[in-house]
Structure 1
Amino acid sequence: MLLNQSMVSQFINLVVHYGDYEDLDRLYIQNQLIRILSAQGVETSEISLEITEWSPVDFSEYWINQMIQHGLIENVLYEREIIEAQLLDLITPRPSTINHQFHHLLSDSPQRATNYFYALSKRNNYVKEKAIAKNIEFEVPTEYGDIELTINLSKPEKSAKDIALAKEAESVEYPKCALCIENEGYQGSVSQAARSNHRVIRLDLDGETWGFQYSPYAYFQEHSIVLSREHTPMDIGRQTFINLFAFIDQIPHYFIGSNADIPLVGGSILSHNHYQTGRHTFPMDRAKEINAFEVEGYEGVSCYTLYWPMSVIRLKSDDKARIVDLASYILKQWMNYSDAEVGVRAYSDSGERHHTVTPIARLRDKQYELDLVLRDNQTSEAYPDGIFHPHPDVQHIKKENIGLIEVMGTAILPARLKEEIHMIQKYLLGEKELETKLGVHFDWVKEMESKYDFNEANIDSILREEIGHKFKRVLEDAGVFKNDHQGQMAFMRFIKSL
């Protein structure tokens, strides 16, 4: 395969403009392209292509398709991604250059710093805008306010061949997981993501070095990850609260929160301590503050419960140290609190801990805020997936763990729903032969069929509203103290115990 000279020249222009290279490096860059693309060289003809509006991603997609056509790589996901990351690494400055520029901007304007790093992460396709745009997003009004729903279509589906190759591959222990800082610049393999174009900002959080990076498949605006430098398990404690506010002090226009640190109610990666952050206002941020209270010995911190499907305590103060002290006290009390009347149990007979919190920090109106969402991961014979987990009758919509993002009122729903909803629409509009294919949705569809008079004009809005109400139920199932008289009386007993 020979590379077109016009294309090579135009791509090199982008590399020089955006990367760490100068015009003197043009031949070197050209040879890097030949190496990455397994090309034989560059054709000498003067054929010029009208591609002046192409982005770096456009060039990489074109060349990868050329490699597949010439039999230089197989048309499998991991090979395409490795080549793409290597090509886009050329337009990405070195980690040291990016870190120096980020911190230079941070000292003047945190927003300029994140704007710089976010633009770079989109340009080199680490943040996969084209894939993210495939997601189906909508809002549904509820008594708790509008909640957000996303049917997640951004992550590319692996083919049967991709899956087979991954199963056959030897297991490797470097990097230890997808969140390890060692992924920065890592080539990738059949079983590990390509990260040649990956960059991580180093941040100091209370004297320890942490990494800050954007999420490739964002679920909200500027979705990013703050990750421990060391591969250590998730842990919620006093240091967590200190770290969250240390981040907010540096990047005050972002929120930051952590998944829980125990199974079933935690996130998908419990093996590596990390937080999630970004520039987004979630439905829970707007939740009504009710039941104001103070805790003796912690005067100066305003405390509230929230009108929200889950059980939330919000702490507010000008003094972040006071919030950290009170949050640490509340966490300790919650970890040891039981209330048999509502099935709340801190420890099993074997000593297994069932309680933790999902914490979320922000700066609002020049005041520090910390939300503590109470979590309980008990299981029972009736609810083997979790008592405070989506119950079986709503798992046809959402069965997965309820993590930080869902807690705050943004549903991340499985990609399977897109086709399933399309099939349900056809059934409800008259294709009754599809009844046998309704599967896990059968009871729900039959209930809707008796409730609504569906037509082409109203079916989309009705189905979205029904999905939203299912997700509201998911959150209510995950709430420890329910929003009924018994549940709220129990919540107040815990508050009084403080």
Structure 2
Amino acid sequence: MIYSDIRGLLQKGIEVGLIDTADQNYVTNQVLALLHLESMPATTEGTTDDSIPNLLDKIIAYATENNVIDNVFDDKEILSATIMNCFVERPSVINAIFQKKYSNSPKNATDYFYELSKNSNYIQMNRIKKNIHFKATTIYGEMDITINMSKPEKDPEQIKRESELKHDVDYPKCLLCIENEGYAGRTGYPARANHRIIQVPLVNENWYLQYSPYVYYNEHSILLAEEHRDMKIGKDTFKRLLTFIEKFPHYFIGSNADLPIVGGSILNHDHYQAGSYNFPMTTATTALSFTLENFPNITASVLEWPLTTIRLQSDEIEPLIQAADHVLTTWKSYSDEEADIRAFSNETPHNTITPIARMRANKFELDLVLRNNRTTEEHPLGIFHPHADVHHIKKENIGLIEVMGLAVLPARLKDELAEIKKFLLDQTTSVAPYHQQWAEQMKGNYGELSNLEQIESILEKELGIKFAKVLGDAGVFKVQSECERFIQTLNR
């Protein structure tokens, strides 16, 4: 069957436009060599009709069963990416095609690159399908909930290999560096042979666009700096974000904060996240409109949102940059003891911003989410971080995606929620200890339950309520008067 699977992969590569029929012999020979096969029989038992990810899985299974590679996670990932690299053009060609399509329309260019990234199996569509998605109604409107099942589990041999790894390789410096493009991978470092990036000049620098291998929303993309440098939110951040949406008005773009606790998982490489998706925050209503006295042409408001968010709008980029920089500069030195906010502990800064940019009705829009990472004995993980009572659902940092209203919850919840369903059906008397109180509260609130669909609906609703609480914990101002004091400071 291996020859049928190879023919199937070639046929799918032609169908989706990865290769031309004129490339067929070349690509066939490249794949054969990788599988230690010397020839392609003139006749086979046909051509396997399946998706590219499924065909790859079949081919990798053959490679492990026939000792082409060890049956170890990294070896399988490396071979899979290297096979697909045979189907993907070189970076210069990809960039040239992208620019040609961009000259017609920015959306045509990103559509092309997104489909390429999926078809080349760089975006792991089969694994992403395992994620659990639903919407949950909260007091702030509908929230997006995802239980992340796409991250593959490492086998025991893989874990052993990584534990025995003695040498440190400082290449690429991190998972986002441009040197990842085409990198084969190694033990403990992901395969990137089929990875391509698009050069996007921004504010006198080279930046690069790629898609996330594990997309959490439509066209989940990453814009990364050419230079390997720490994340930093400043005036140049606002310039880059707004320049990007001027180039790609059909996308939003935002940045994680640049401090531990309130930042994302990668703080050592300056990068942003973009895409084509309307997050719950996008449609949040206005809680408070106000005027920035030094910026009369800027429309300013505070959103009805669990994290304190200032929304600024303008017809022009430059005034918006200046206004956003004023908000950031003021916030970075702002303290309010009544609200538990201190800008510094000695020389250590605590205040920063999570910014998000988009186009709306032909206006430039910036959402500035105020963040603070101070800790106390009561809240050792952060005062404005998920508190202990929601750790059974979410304990990790609240990054950009969650700030905008999309929960990324741990995989453990799938099995744990199944146990809670049994508990609510009186089929078991206990659940994981950290869920016990929550499960008993639901039983007390909803009474006797026998309908599984009803229980699933209740659990989705209750997860939404918990996630809204998670975001509320991360909000710096809990009442309007606290927010109004900061606005007064902005206008001094």
TM-score (normalizing by structure 1):
0.94
User: For the residues of structure 1 that align with 2:291 and 2:485, how far apart are their CA atoms?
Assistant: 14
Distance (Å, rounded) in 2 between the aligned partners of 1:369 and 1:175: 35
CA shift at 1:212, angstroms? 0.2
- Aligned pairs for 1:312-327 (under 5 A) are 312-327=309-324
Partner residue of 1:142 out of 138, 161, 183 = 138
Quick one: distance in 2 between partners of 1:325 and 1:171?
A: 44
Alpha-carbon contact 1:260-1:357 (below 8 Å) kept: yes
Contact kept, 8 Å, 1:290 with 1:305, in 2: the verdict is: yes
Match of 2:28 among 18, 27, 30: 30
Counterpart residue number, 2:384: 388
Q: Does 1:211 align with 2:208?
A: yes
Aligned residue for 2:470? 474
Tell me, yes or no, if structure 1 residue 420 matches structure 2 residue 416.
Answer: yes
Q: Which amino acid aligns with 2:451?
A: E
From 191, 196, 200, the counterpart of 1:199: 196
Report the CA distance between 1:9 and its aligned residue: 4.8
Contact kept, 8 Å, 1:15 with 1:90, in 2: the verdict is: no
- Aligned residue identity for 1:286: T
In 2, Cα distance between equivalents of 1:61 and 1:72: 14
**CA shift for structure 1 position 36:** 1.3
Does 1:377 pair with 2:379? no
Deviation at 1:438, TM superposition (A): 2.0
> Helix, strand or coil: the match of 1:305?
strand
Task: Verify the 8 A CA contact 1:56 1:88 in the aligned structure 2.
Answer: no
Which one-letter code corresponds to 1:201 in the other structure? I
Q: Structure 1 residue 31: deviation in Å? A: 2.9
Q: Does 1:283 align with 2:275?
A: no
CA shift, 1:27, in A, is 4.4
Find the aligned partners of 1:161 and 1:440 in 2 and give their Cα distance. Answer: 31
Q: CA RMSD in A?
A: 1.7
User: What is the deviation of 1:125?
Assistant: 0.9
CA distance in 2, matches of 1:207, 1:385: 38
CA distance in 1, matches of 2:255, 2:428: 45
Counterparts of 1:479-494 in structure 2 under 5 Å?
479-482=475-478, 487-494=479-486
Q: Secondary structure at the match of 1:187?
A: coil
Measure the CA separation in 2 of the matches of 1:27 and 1:406: 47
Q: Indicate whether 1:259 and 2:256 are aligned.
A: yes
Aligned residue number for residue 306 of structure 2: 309
Unaligned runs of 5+ in 1: none
CA contact (8 A) 2:211 2:220 kept: yes
Q: State the Cα distance separating 1:69 from its structure 2 match.
A: 1.1
Q: Give 1:7 deviation, angstroms.
A: 4.9
Q: Contact conserved, 1:200 with 1:213, CA < 8 A, in 2? A: yes
Structure 1 residue 165 displacement after superposition = 1.3
Q: Secondary structure at the match of 2:158?
A: helix
Cα distance in 2 for residues equivalent to 1:63 and 1:315: 52
CA distance in 1, matches of 2:222, 2:450: 43
**Cα distance in structure 2, aligned partners of 1:339 and 1:65:** 60
1:417 and 1:7 mapped to 2: Cα distance?
36
Percent identity for Structure 1 against Structure 2: 45
For 1:444, the equivalent position in structure 2 comes to: 438
Give how far 1:266 is off. 0.3
Separation in structure 2 between the aligned mates of residue 475 and residue 213 of structure 1, nearest angstrom: 28
Contact 1:152/1:414 (8 A) holds in 2 = yes
1:42-53 superposed matches below 5 A? 42=39, 44=41, 46-51=43-48, 53=49
Provide the aligned length of Structure 1 versus Structure 2.
486
Partner of 2:91: 95
Contact 1:258 1:276 in 2 (8 A): yes
Which ranges of 4 or more aligned residues in structure 1 deviate by more than 6 Å?
Answer: none
Shift of 1:63: 1.5
8 Å contact kept, 2:2–2:62:
no
How far the C-alpha of 1:472 sits from its partner, in A, is 0.5
